[in-house]
Structure 1
Amino acid sequence: MYHVQFPGLGINVTLDPIAFKIGNHPIAWYGIIIATGFLLAFLYALQSCKKFRVDPDRFVDVVMVGIIFGVIGARLYYVLFDSSSQYIENPISVFYIWNGGLGIYGGIIGGLLFGSLMAKLRKLSIPAVLDLASLGFLIGQCIGRWGNFVNQEAFGTGTNLPWRMISENTDLVSAAGVHPCFLYESLWCLLGFILLHIFSRKYRRYDGQVFLLYTLWYGVGRFFIEGLRTDSLITPVIPLRVSQVVAAAAVIAAIVLLIVFRNRTVLTGCGSRKIMELNSIVDEVKPEEIEETYTDDGTSTIFDSAEQARTYMNEESETADQTESDSEDKPQDAPAADASLQDEKAGGEETKDGEAD
């Protein structure tokens, strides 16, 4: 149980890391929050598959593989850079993931590597999948950091800022209060998601661009936020934290690739309207046109290019014109048929009269 204060904001809360118990097994808020972040990220990405032109069924396979190896990567990252000797003295404790010890960068690296491999096996565009995954990452990271708040971890050095945080754990660092680093990163990821979501819909020029911008955005924020923390892994060679080194490398790589690909215009889904037209990508069908895209058996027609869509609509228009023309011709034949029938009746009456005579 933690008693947390934000004295400058007049906020006081009591936090219990355990949400509830199933029998003798405690269910932690941390796990619930992380799972919620995963779920919302997945639902957003799944909903966005249509705009990015990624097959949702195949994308689910990629996500499942990415989650599994993301967790494995996060654990290995933490174990490899942990300075304590606990994993050497007790190797089996490497698998005690419920005791904590995950590195977000390890999760991202593991999820991306094996998720990309699965995307290739399922014949999906890897750059497009990476763009989708990047937006999902920001959602998951924004929500997941609140698990650190419940556990009262991932906080920073002492500060007198109005939003400083005080609890039993932070007293060990500063009695006056510390930087709520979890909040900084959560807000940074939220802002990044909003900006990149808008960018992906209106300004994206090529598949993979959103992923590179995500790498740049998150890396910059993580580098500075990590510099405030007091409980993260430190490199044994230079006075920087492991996550700062990884963030710096990621930022440099992203900048270089953004420059190299600055003239690239290979796009398979949503983005800049001009680039979409250049790649012959048809935007979403307007509501008033939806009925016209359905065939007689009730299935919908999906176009791969603007030319195909125009051809289809022209054919439908010609068919409709021909049908109207045929329907107009039929009433004109009817009077002739009626006249012929009347002549036959008249001839029959004359014959009868002749017989009577």
Structure 2
Amino acid sequence: MLAALNPIAFALGGIEVHWYGIIIASAVLIAVWLAMREARARGVNDDHILNLVLWALPFALIGARLYYVAFEWPYYAKHPGEIIAIWHGGIAIYGALIASVIVFLIYCRVKWLEPWLILDIAAPTVMLAQAIGRWGNFMNQEAYGAKTTLAYLRGLHLPEFIIQQMNISGAFRQPTFLYESTWNLVGFVLLMSVRHHQGWFKQGEVVLSYVMWYSFGRFFVEGMRTDSLYLMPGLRVSQLLSIILFVGAAVIWVVRRRRGNAPWYLDGSALPDVTKQ
């Protein structure tokens, strides 16, 4: 039987570098590279993508932590010193996404960029980053599901190293990190395959497709996890938010299509780049 993988990649002096950080950083770099390429193709200065990431990352981290703390407030009210102890775990991807979108909208307003177009450019690459990032959870043995059996995991034809990493606290667990990672990877491939088809997407519809795809899958994966945040017994925060986001994105899509005044995604930017003036 294989031993659990070491979450620490290496140490530099007294500083331990975790695989989680390496994986997340790699995911961000790949996403930024792809988004910058797409920005150039759509007539957007790719410097804006890098600037957006530099602004969004710290706020995304803060948002992810505040989201988690808010729904675990009874604990943190008694242990206020733990609020900033992010190294002890406790971040939520929805909090990061919400904070990032706010930063995006502010930046686009200041720089005179079309927010729907910028979100469309970023959306598929964000989904890829999420797919890669879940493997950081795998290395930390977190974001897993209920107890299962060795026979069940082997029936999924998973590599042995994944199966053994799902042996947590003496019991095999559902690899929910893998379910969500796979769902996001499929969504990324689909969006990247179809968003350049002429006459398929108005500006804003790529990111709305991302929201609907991600929230639909997250609803079911969240129902399998054992570390969910709850509004009340039986009501998981992420499942409720998934429903709201899915319905909201679908309604926005229909309303914008009926109005018929949104430009096509492939038309790219119609605004001058103020950074060149």
Within the candidate set 188, 199, 207, 1:211 is matched to: 207
Residue 105 (structure 1) aligns with:
94
Residue 133 (structure 1) aligns with:
122
Q: Give yes or no for the alignment of 1:262 onto 2:257.
A: yes
Residue 77 (structure 2) aligns with:
88
Q: SS state of the match for residue 26, structure 2?
A: helix
Within the candidate set 95, 99, 103, 1:114 is matched to: 103
**Would the aligned equivalents of 1:66 and 1:110 in 2 still touch at CA under 8 Å?**
yes
Q: How far did residue 67 of structure 1 move? A: 1.4
- Hey, what's the Cα distance between the residues in 1 that align with 2:54 and 2:122? 12
- Give runs of aligned pairs for residues 138-157 of structure 1, distance below 5 A: 138-157=127-146
**Would the aligned equivalents of 2:184 and 2:214 in 1 still touch at CA under 8 Å?**
yes
Residue 248 (structure 2) aligns with:
253
Q: SS state of the match for residue 147, structure 2?
A: coil
- Hey, what's the Cα distance between the residues in 1 that align with 2:122 and 2:246? 18
Q: How far did residue 13 of structure 1 move? A: 5.8
**Would the aligned equivalents of 2:114 and 2:269 in 1 still touch at CA under 8 Å?**
no
* Superposition misfits of 4+ residues, deviation over 6 angstroms: none
Q: How far did residue 132 of structure 1 move? A: 1.5
Within the candidate set 10, 14, 18, 1:28 is matched to: 18
- Hey, what's the Cα distance between the residues in 1 that align with 2:108 and 2:51? 8
* TM-score using structure 1 length: 0.67
Within the candidate set 113, 124, 127, 2:113 is matched to: 124
Q: SS state of the match for residue 54, structure 1?
A: coil
Q: How far did residue 259 of structure 1 move? A: 1.5
- Hey, what's the Cα distance between the residues in 1 that align with 2:252 and 2:6? 45
- Hey, what's the Cα distance between the residues in 1 that align with 2:167 and 2:148? 15
Residue 41 (structure 2) aligns with:
51
Q: How far did residue 31 of structure 1 move? A: 0.8
Within the candidate set 171, 174, 177, 1:179 is matched to: 174
Within the candidate set 234, 239, 242, 1:244 is matched to: 239
Q: How far did residue 136 of structure 1 move? A: 1.9
Q: SS state of the match for residue 173, structure 2?
A: coil
Amino acid at match of 1:45: A
Q: SS state of the match for residue 231, structure 2?
A: coil
- Hey, what's the Cα distance between the residues in 1 that align with 2:143 and 2:69? 17
Q: How many residues align?
A: 259
Unaligned runs of 5+ in 2: 271-277
- Hey, what's the Cα distance between the residues in 1 that align with 2:219 and 2:56? 24
- Hey, what's the Cα distance between the residues in 2 that align with 1:43 and 1:98? 28
Within the candidate set 42, 67, 73, 1:77 is matched to: 67
Q: What whole-Å deviation, never above 9, does each CA across 1:221-258 have from its counterpart, x for those lacking one?
A: 0000000001121222x512211111111011011112
Amino acid at match of 1:189: N
Distance change (3 Å), C-alpha of 1:123 and 1:268: farther
Q: What whole-Å deviation, never above 9, does each CA across 1:66-86 have from its counterpart, x for those lacking one?
A: 21211111110111112651x
Identity of aligned residues (%): 38
Distance change (3 Å), C-alpha of 1:67 and 1:112: same
Q: SS state of the match for residue 146, structure 2?
A: coil
RMSD: 2.3
**Would the aligned equivalents of 2:4 and 2:165 in 1 still touch at CA under 8 Å?**
no
Distance change (3 Å), C-alpha of 1:169 and 1:193: same
Amino acid at match of 1:244: Q
Q: SS state of the match for residue 15, structure 1?
A: coil
Q: How far did residue 261 of structure 1 move? A: 2.0
Q: Give yes or no for the alignment of 1:66 onto 2:56.
A: yes
Q: SS state of the match for residue 11, structure 2?
A: strand
Residue 15 (structure 1) aligns with:
5
- Hey, what's the Cα distance between the residues in 2 that align with 1:217 and 1:269? 19
Q: How far did residue 116 of structure 1 move? A: 1.4
- Hey, what's the Cα distance between the residues in 2 that align with 1:26 and 1:111? 28
Q: How far did residue 260 of structure 1 move? A: 1.2
**Would the aligned equivalents of 2:60 and 2:95 in 1 still touch at CA under 8 Å?**
yes
- Hey, what's the Cα distance between the residues in 2 that align with 1:269 and 1:250? 22
Q: What whole-Å deviation, never above 9, does each CA across 1:139-185 have from its counterpart, x for those lacking one?
A: 1101000001101111112345313845586346xx4x322111111
Q: How far did residue 130 of structure 1 move? A: 0.8
